[in-house]
Amino acid sequence: MSTPAPARAGTAEIAVRLRGIGKRFPGVIANDDINIDVRRGTIHAIVGENGAGKSTLMKILYGVQPPDSGTIEINGEQVALSSPADAIKHGVGMVFQHFMLADNLTVLENVVLGAEKLHGIGGAARDEIRRLSDAYGLDIEPDELVEDLGVGQRQRVEILKVLYRGARVIILDEPTAVLVPQEVDELFGNLRGLKSEGFSIIFISHKLDEVLAVADEITVIRRGTTVSTVQPTDVTSRQLAELMVGSELPSPSTEASTVTDEVLISVQDLTLTNADGRRLLTDISFDIHRGEVLGIAGVEGNGQEELVESLMGMRHGARGTIRLRGDDLTSMSTRDRRQAGVGYIPADRHRHGLLLESPLWENRVLGHQFRAPSVKHGMIDKTAARADTERIITEYDVRTPGPDVLAASLSGGNQQKLIVGREMSSEPILLIASHPTRGVDVGAQAAIWDHIKRARREGLAVLLISADLEELIGLSDRIEVILRGRLVGTFDPGAVTPEQLGSAMTGAEAQA
């Protein structure tokens, strides 16, 4: 599998042809002679490590960045795309991994925003949204508030937005990252429906089994260059991983149990309401022992974020108690909880984990600016912080020229490894890891799994929240399911399947 294999000719016309695409940034070659043909009426997957050049390539195709070299053809016409508006005019739309929706607006308002000239903002727009929703099985009601929608429905709203603007080529960036198995099946059904209507789907994903299940062709990119285009029937996930990173697909499976009798964190009757008095969390109780990983499984929006933010002191007004090694943290600030020994890998690394326009050494200090080695005589010690950042870069394999590089210049996987290194370096008692491998490639994923396993061996208590059910089952010693702000079931990872967890997460198990 080491030599590039040409795509089979097929009979479908070419919707998008990329030839010799190159893009360079200072000190980095992002794309180097990329060549891809995307056929009309097919799902074309693009896979590769974080930093392989996928995101840059999609930004070029969506008009966000111009290429330094090469050509783009859409439906046989060579085009120059200087903005997303240009891409949309040529029928290319993109659904980003992080949804771009306003929660306080309706579906209709979100869809027409910026496209008011097409059908206005009233009845004609509503009729068009309903027509598209019905035609492609999206099942979206125009007048629903986005904040009332589940994550799978929100994704369908994003797809509606690009369809509404007339896109015939749809780029999907990590579309299944936050979906449970049933929602993934629904999405794939939607994509197959679009394909049958002649749409071309470009599918970016790190989940190789899903790529093999849905794609018609797969292009592998490594270090900015196309390595191979293959048919899903000709390769296994292991062979795809080998093409991507030169190694076997990793497994999250843990070793022998390290759980002890010592309770490190005890949460009792944690209840949280919002400003309107609506319950967000109800009577949440659990213990995590030394050397134990407790997994939390749930459909996005069922209280996971509120639970994490309550444990971190980012939300207030909760009742109940939180004790860390016997000490009451309930009324402590976020800073005091960190000092008490709570490490935190946030779900959204850009929003809560990094200052993207700051250098890596400043990001190493972030959240730990009150302790050594970052502080000397009450002031930030830049020399010590830079040196410790270099240690993290080496120890956690953060691929970057050095500690003075801006965090924004790192790939998602390397940003995540920096955060993991920072939090592990604080020697926590409890590590809260919220979606720690979301949007990272198999290489970075394996590295992060290894660090969580090491934390477990070293006697930490780990709270793991993840939408990747294989990851939860592989890493956890015990799994709790959260549904509508309540813990509704405890599962043994050694005896539960992803399908059983998915049923419990949607409440189907209780209804059966």
pLDDT digit string, tens, across residues 404-421: 999 988 878 889 999 999
Amino acid identity, position 171: I
* Average pLDDT for 115-129: 81
- For domain 250-341+428-512, the CATH class is alpha beta
Per DSSP, what are the bridge partners of residue 16?
38, 74
- What is the third-level CATH fold of 14-245? Rossmann fold (3.40.50)
- The answer for residues whose C-beta is within 8 angstroms of residue 137's C-beta and 6 or more apart is 189, 190, 193
Do the beta carbons of residue 178 and residue 347 sit within 8 Å?
no
Question: Considering the chain, what percentage of its residues have pLDDT values greater than 90?
Answer: 40
Amino acid identity, position 373: P
- pLDDT over 70 (residue 247): no
3-class state of residue 73 by DSSP: strand
Q: How far apart are CA 9 and CA 31, in angstroms?
A: 25
Do the beta carbons of residue 63 and residue 139 sit within 8 Å?
no
Query: Which of 432, 473, 446, 437 minimizes the C-alpha distance to 297?
Result: 473
Q: Helix and strand tally (H, E) in the chain?
A: 18, 22
- pLDDT over 80 (residue 79): yes
- pLDDT over 80 (residue 512): no
pLDDT tens digit sequence for 454-510:
889 999 999 999 988 888 999 999 999 999 999 999 999 989 888 888 888 887 655
pLDDT at 20: 93
Amino acid identity, position 283: D
**Domains in the chain: boundaries:** 14-245, 250-341+428-512, 351-427
Structural tokens at position 444: 């970075």
Do the beta carbons of residue 311 and residue 305 sit within 8 Å?
no
- pLDDT over 50 (residue 61): yes
pTM: 0.63
pLDDT at 3: 38
Structural tokens at position 239: 């062979």
Q: How far apart are CA 18 and CA 220, in angstroms?
A: 14
3-class state of residue 155 by DSSP: helix
Query: Which of 163, 61, 172 minimizes the C-alpha distance to 115?
Result: 163
275 pLDDT band, cuts 50/70/90, is confident
